[in-house]
Structure formats: C-alpha cells, structure tokens
Structure 1
C-alpha cells in the first residue's frame, strides 16, 4: 500500500470510508465504518458497513424466496424503513452507480433479488441496508473538523464485501498505520484497560 498522510485529509469524497474516532459518543456510529456513496453540494449519503441488523432480509421481505441467512445491515439512522443495496454486479443498468472499482450502489432491485433467490445462499456480492447515514451540506465537513471521523481514501471491494463486519473498523485503522494503528487497539471503555 502506498504511504498516505491520512491525518491531513479533511475533504471527503464519494468512495471514501469514514472511520469513527475511537471514543465517538454517538451510539449510532460507535466504532463504525461508513461507505460514502454520495458527496456533493447537496450533502452526503453513506452506509454503515459493520452494524448488522438483528433482522435478516427474509424477515423484512416476507413472501420472497430468500435464503434465511441473508444478512441485513443498519445503514444508518435516517429512514430506517427503506432498503438499499451495495453490490459488485456491473450489469444492473442506468439505475446502478459505480462508487469505486467493482462496487456499485442501487440498480435493478428485481435483478439483484433474482440472483439472491437463484443462489439460495447468502450472497457475498450484495450488501443490503435498512436506512442510511445522511449529512446536510457542510455537516460532514464540520464533523471531520471536530475530529469525529477519519477519512480512508482507499476503499475497495475486498474491504467492503470480504472483510468480516466485526473486524472492519480495526482492520481499516491498522491498514492506515502510524497513530491510527494504535487507535485500532484502544479498548471500547478505557476504564476497563
């Protein structure tokens, strides 16, 4: 991996991973890794990659023939009655937006569901989210200035789809090296150290 001065990145962009600071007090984002799928003058949208829901996809989409093990993640605190997907399928047409190489947001929902039904097993090609994380114009930049988030600019499909969700926060900080690698070992409650 190329050396990157992560401490000096203050402007987020589409495709970044937002890593919550070790002691971020917001329970919605404690030890979170957010995949930023949109960032422009109208605001920002992302999905928390490492917060699984207690529900499975087949419980939310009753009546569909979906594998019982298909995971569902809490994308964030905004509109948790909506379902979103991030996937590796590059054939889902104009509704699908490439975020980073081999990683797409949205697309033909029925086409994705058809793939999931055919596989009859959890598909590592697709991540489903209830709700999303959203910021109004300038809000995310302000939170970065307040040191609530660390920006990781080298998101890739392996981190998003293949890294176990309970290891992701620690793994990304370790990849960043230096003081961020030290952050990865901070206990959740420093009083317990």
Structure 2
C-alpha cells in the first residue's frame, strides 16, 4: 500500500529511533513534497485544560495532549471525527469522517459537530522521498486506517491491535517482545 493521507504507518518492531519505536502514525498529508502525520499512541501527562482550556470539554478521553511527533513540539494539531456529511467551518476532511481541526476557530463553531477529538503536540514529518526510503528499508508498514484508531480508549495497545487485524505475518509481529534479546 502506498503512503497516502488517511493511511497508517506502523513502526516495524526493529525501529530503533526512540521517537517512533512501536508507534502508529496517522498520515494527514502525503505527496511528492513529503509527508506529515501524528503519532496516535503516545499520550502525555499534560492535561488539555492546562494548555488549550476552551477545547478541554470537547476532547475524547484521556483528556491529555498526545505527543504527535518530534517536529514543532510547541505547536498543536487536532484530529476530529465529524459523523455528518456536512463539513463545519474549521474542519478539513482527511479520510472518511476523520479530519483536521483549526484550533484557532472558536470552539463553539465545532463542538456540536464533533463526536471525537484528540489534540497532538508536534507532528511527524518527512521530506520528499524520505518516507518512501524508510518504507523500502523496512522501517514502516503502511496499512489502512480505521476511524476509531485516532480515538481509541487504549492508546498503549494500539500498535499491537493494528498489527493483529492485518492477519498473516504482520499479525504475528504483534506478539514480538520490545527487547527480543531479553526473551
């Protein structure tokens, strides 16, 4: 599968970069100029209310910021599910009913349209050709996303969950210990 907006990058069990070890990245944009996404399974301890108070009542649990990646960690991106076919002001569809929220739009304009929302500090980014090279080197598996991936109740278990649902050899990787030499 090609890396396109709305697909997931699953870090290979051998990923050595600590920023991405055992992560699931939702691609928000991918093209000839590069790719951008957010890590879905790295919640922080910082409550949304402490940083973006107006959005605290809209976020899906856990009510914390997620570490979206190592790039621009002082900025925030929000991903939301809007189940209606309407596209409210301040929301841009990425795939199905999942899209990006403009956090500068007044929360009142979006709150009633959003069924799930997560806020990410920073993002993951790749320059032109970089992601494709990493995929070719076996660092990432590209798989289809499900709408619930970005908002699941168990972010820590997402890596294994996504691998298991792929079946075959990818499903077997879900049971690989994080330190195979310690097995």
Q: Scaled by the length of structure 1, what TM-score is found?
A: 0.82
Closer, same or farther in 2 for the Cα pair 1:104/1:191, shift >3 Å? same
1:88-138 Cα deviation digits (max 9, x unpaired): 135432x4221111101123644447766x9xxxx9610100000000000
Work out the CA distance in 2 between the residues paired with 1:82 and 1:157.
24
Compute the displacement of 1:66 (Å): 3.2
Over aligned residue pairs, what C-alpha RMSD do you find? Answer: 2.3
Compute the displacement of 1:156 (Å): 1.9
Work out the CA distance in 1 between the residues paired with 2:122 and 2:33.
18
1:23 alignment counterpart: 14
Instruction: Please give the residue correspondences for 1:60-139 in structure 2 after superposition, counting only pairs within 5 Å.
Output: 60-61=51-52, 64=54, 66=56, 70-89=63-82, 91-93=87-89, 95-107=90-102, 109-112=104-107, 125-139=116-130
More deviation in 96-105 or 129-138? 96-105
The count of corresponding residues between Structure 1 and Structure 2 is 176
Work out the CA distance in 2 between the residues paired with 1:65 and 1:165.
20
Please list every run of 5 or more consecutive structure 2 residues that lacks an aligned counterpart in the other structure: none
Q: Secondary structure at the match of 2:169?
A: helix
Q: Scaled by the length of structure 2, what TM-score is found?
A: 0.86
* 8 A Cα contact 1:83 1:131, kept in partner: yes
Work out the CA distance in 1 between the residues paired with 2:180 and 2:93.
39
Closer, same or farther in 2 for the Cα pair 1:33/1:65, shift >3 Å? closer
Q: Secondary structure at the match of 1:181?
A: helix
2:171 alignment counterpart: 181
1:157 alignment counterpart: 147
* 8 A Cα contact 2:47 2:63, kept in partner: yes
Q: Secondary structure at the match of 1:79?
A: strand
Work out the CA distance in 2 between the residues paired with 1:66 and 1:128.
10
Closer, same or farther in 2 for the Cα pair 1:183/1:108, shift >3 Å? same
* 8 A Cα contact 2:77 2:103, kept in partner: no
Please list every run of 5 or more consecutive structure 1 residues that lacks an aligned counterpart in the other structure: 1-8
Runs of 4+ in structure 1 over 4 Å off: 113-116
